[in-house]
């Protein structure tokens, strides 16, 4: 089955700096890669996603890049704000697999004032 | 629409008891998923439904676990003879999945503590 590795496990940045979180996946049949933000006591919230036919996608301060050859994808957050502090999860799903997601282990992002 | 609703939010039960959780998905969504999340880990897939049909169950889902989605609307997840290892957050998600859209909406989860 699919295996997704995520790093770093914790990340601390100063407000206004950029944050980058990286993930690798094992199954070359994976074709959908979402990123979720989870705040304490809440369920994960989809913040951005990318499909395998696209190399990069942006949404305001958030961007995701995908390298299919290397089987890795990254989340980039620019101009970080305190409200960006949360746990971020990457995930992958395999084509034809019912869109069930395999998640990484999460990155605790802390944006310091 | 208020999103995906899960009840109860918290459940404390004694080992050996049965528990049932409910999930109300976004009304127009055709797929419903159950995941389990333990502390410090990402969610793990348990099972999913397309409309009322249960299409896949994870090997993580022992015979003590059963899920239903009657009439393709709300879903229930039952755990029989609970064990301490069942303590986790149980997350429900729904989606309208077609060729162009894959995104999930998760509920806030039910936190189960088995004592």
Sort out which chain B residues have CB atoms less than 8 A from A98's CB and list them: 48, 50, 55-56
> B29-74: per-residue pLDDT in tens?
889 999 999 999 999 999 999 999 999 999 888 899 999 998 889 9
A3 Cβ under 8 Å from any chain B Cβ: no
Report whether pLDDT(B18) > 70: yes
Q: What are phi and psi of B26, to 5 degrees?
A: -65, 130
Q: Dump strand ranges (E) for chain A.
A: 4-7, 10-14, 19-25, 30-38, 45-51, 56-59, 62-67, 72-77, 86-94, 102-103, 107-112
Residue for token pair 């949360």: A86
Sort out which chain B residues have CB atoms less than 8 A from A105's CB and list them: 40-42
Helix (H) or strand (E) run with residue B60 in it: none
Helices (H) and strands (E) in chain B, counts: 0, 11
**Between A and B, how many CB-CB pairs are < 8 A?**
57
Residues of B with CB under 8 A from a CB of A: 4, 31, 33, 40-45, 48, 50, 55-56, 91, 93, 95, 97, 102-109
Q: Cis link prior to A8 (omega < 30° from 0)?
A: yes
Both tokens assigned to B104: 């999930």
Provide the pLDDT confidence category of residue B1 given band limits of 50, 70 and 90.
low
Both tokens assigned to B57: 């169950």
Task: List the single residue in B31, B105, B108 with the smallest CB-CB distance to A42.
Answer: B108
Give the residue-averaged pLDDT of A88-96. Answer: 90
Give the residue-averaged pLDDT of A19-23. Answer: 98
Mean pLDDT over the full length of chain B: 93
Q: Quick one: pLDDT at residue B100?
A: 67
């Amino acid at each position: 089955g699919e295996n997704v590795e995520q790093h770093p496990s914790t990340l601390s940045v100063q407000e206004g700096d950029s944050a980058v979180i990286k993930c690798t996946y094992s199954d070359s049949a994976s074709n959908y890669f979402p990123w979720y933000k989870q705040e304490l006591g809440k369920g994960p919230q989809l913040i951005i996603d990318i499909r395998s036919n696209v190399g990069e996608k942006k949404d305001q301060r958030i961007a995701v890049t995908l390298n299919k050859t290397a089987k890795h994808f990254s989340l980039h957050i620019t101009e970080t704000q305190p409200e960006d502090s949360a746990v971020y999860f990457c995930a992958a799903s395999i084509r034809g697999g019912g869109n069930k997601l395999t998640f990484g282990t999460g990155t605790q992002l802390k944006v310091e004032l | 629409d208020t999103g995906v609703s899960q009840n109860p939010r918290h459940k404390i039960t004694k080992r050996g008891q049965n528990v049932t959780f409910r999930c109300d998905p976004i009304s127009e969504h055709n797929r419903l998923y159950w995941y389990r999340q333990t502390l410090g880990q990402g969610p793990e897939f348990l099972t999913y439904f397309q409309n009322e049909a249960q299409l896949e169950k994870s090997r993580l889902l022992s015979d003590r676990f059963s899920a239903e989605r009657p009439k393709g609307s709300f879903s229930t997840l039952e755990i029989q003879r609970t064990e301490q290892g069942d303590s986790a957050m149980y997350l429900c998600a729904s989606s309208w999945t077609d060729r162009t859209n894959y995104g999930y909406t998760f509920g806030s989860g039910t936190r189960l503590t088995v004592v």
